[in-house]
Amino acid sequence: MNLFVSDWNALSESARSALLQRPALADDAALREAVAALIARVRDDGEAALRELTVRFDGCELEDFRVSPEAFERARREVSEPLRAAIFAAKARIERFHAAGMTAPYAMDTAPGVRCERVLRPIRRVGLYVPAGSAPLPSTALMLGVPAALAGCPEVILCTPPRADGTVDPTVLVAAEACGITRVFRLGGVQAIAAMAQGAGAVPRCDKLFGPGNGYVTEAKRQVSAAPGGPAIDMPAGPSEVLVIADAEADAEFVAADLLSQAEHGPDSQAILLSDSMALLDAVAVQIRAQAAGLPRAAILARSLDNLRLIRTRDIAQAIEISNAYAPEHLILSVREPRRWLDAVTSAGSIFLGDYAPEALGDYCSGTNHVLPTYGAARAWSGVSVASFQKAISVQEVSAEGLRAIGPDAVTLARAERLEAHAQAVSRRLARIGGAP
């Protein structure tokens, strides 16, 4: 467990860079080759490969990967009423938030007789991946299923790993069904990504893939998206991470709990605390030891807490600068008047303001999305939204009057670029209607 406090301003540039180094992604040559081989197996052998790989990685033999209507019915009975109510309450908040932020089509006349529009169309078929490695993630089914439904995607496919007995966790099924998703397949890992990317057996080929996963899943998404004709993917993703900025008055118990809540995701998760208060940093270290001792995922925490960083900064402004450079997936501002600092934040997947906004609320039920860019991708990428499931298409409608108005500009620009065929596509029309070339 790494509970040593580093003083940012006492470090060299190279030491600072090393301190903020994320856990190494599993992207070595051996992993890339292994993933490529698995994708090729699914491409070449289809459903037979899926069966063999499911036995190898999930320990169960399946003839049919589809989740049956009877399995959905059993899931409804098995999930307790309080849990079911929490799933539907979370879905309602996610739905309200994402509906409010939906992009609207628009149209305008950019010149007399020139009508330009931007129309929205849902992606035809999307594939959602819901992990279930160390724990099932029904929340991910909600985070992906709700915006897909709001976008109006005609076909939504969901893959999630089977348990050893061949069944799927019932909470995942209840969450999927709450979003109107009934085409669910008992497939996990690289084979699930390969099946949705290429089509295999009953799993159809999808146009875009969504969802988090381990290093193998992440690498599989990268490879299939880079293949000619391959699907798009939601975003680059790596291990989950949180960065907390706390001042002297922050609650050490809460801060430690936030750091631990992220660290328990997996051994390659990272948690960072930046504070201008040495007393707060020391108090958090004490709390981490005390709280970690009572948590059940001890084996994971024992490894992920090696990635923990406790860093003293000159002030909160410097902490914000460091955070912007790091670009965390989750950023918690446990400071007084946190909204005052919001405009200074330029790169983060999701921001949590104040002592009573734990990152866990965003994971489950506040309404925002928890499928977020990680590993520094938040410098340029955004989290999943309804727009992630849509295409924006531009439209132009031009009358003879409009062609006369703007056609000469197009001819001039085309000839400046030495593209005479472009120029003539306009000038020939201008000649027909008596306009100046």
Enumerate the known binding-site residues for NAD(+): 129, 191, 214
Name the helix (H) or strand (E) containing 196: helix 189-198
Neighbouring residues of 61: CB distance < 8 A, sequence distance ≥ 6: 51, 54, 55, 166
Instruction: Tell me the C-alpha distance between 34 and 45, whole Å.
Output: 16
What are the backbone angles phi and psi of residue 182, rounded to the nearest 5°?
-120, -10
CA distance 212 to 196: 15
| Closest-CA residue to 261 (of 233, 212, 295, 213) | 295
* Active-site annotation holds for 370: no
Q: Which residues are annotated as a binding site for substrate?
A: 240, 262, 265, 330, 363, 417, 422
Beta-sheet strand order (sheet of 208-210): 184-186, 155-160, 125-129, 208-210, 232-233
User: Which residue's entry shows tokens 């790091």?
Assistant: 326
- Known catalytic residue at 397: no
Burial category of 27 from C-beta neighbours within 10 Å (exposed 0-12, middle 13-18, buried 19 and up): middle
The answer to whether 371 and 140 are in contact (CB under 8 A) is: yes
- Say which of 219, 241, 330, 370 is annotated catalytic: 330
Cβ–Cβ < 8 Å for 208, 234: yes
- Sole residue written with tokens 């190898």: 56
Which among 280, 243, 251, 279 has a CA at the least distance from the CA of 372?
A: 243
Q: What is the dihedral of CA 356, 361, 363, 368, to 10 degrees?
A: -100
Catalytic entry in 329, 359, 370, 397? 329
* Residue written as token pair 């009877």: 70
Residues involved in catalysis: 329-330
